Amino acid sequence: MARVTGPFLSIDASGTAYDILTASIWKGRNYMRGFFRPTNPKTTDQQTVRTMLAAAVSAWQGLYQGIKDSWNVAARDVYPPISGFNYYTQQYIIAEGPPTIPPIAPRKSKSIHGRNVYGLDKGYD
């Protein structure tokens, strides 16, 4: 991904031009990439994951603010840093249901292609 400063002779650019290039902003940085049309095969596995993620989001939204604050504090110990929402969702998927805050925060190895990332080693490739 190339870093773009003032794409198309402007300060910011976003959108797709002629189904060739897509310009956007990610975390405050402008970038451009080739256009691709995303697919949505609606496979059984994909629907299962979407259902589980929807359940995790719904469960997060139903938590009291004090519990959300506890997840936000616990997420500070996770490496690399993530939000309390992401930490809760991650643990929800691992536990396959409402989780409790783990006593030890997961730490991702610093290798780029590490296998057992965040304990999600359930045979997914």
pLDDT digits (tens, 9 = 90+) for 95-119: 999 998 888 777 766 555 555 555 5
Q: Is 3 exposed, middle or buried (0-12, 13-18, 19+ CB in 10 A)?
A: exposed
Domain ranges of the chain: 2-34, 44-108
pLDDT digits (tens, 9 = 90+) for 29-87: 778 888 888 888 889 999 999 999 999 999 999 999 999 999 999 898 888 788 999 99
Q: What span, in angstroms and rounded, lies between the C-alpha atoms of 21 and 36?
A: 9
Q: What does pTM read for this prediction?
A: 0.60
Residue 94 in contact with residue 119, Cβ under 8 Å?
yes
Q: Given the DSSP bridges, would you call strands 21-26 and 15-17 parallel, antiparallel or unpaired?
A: antiparallel
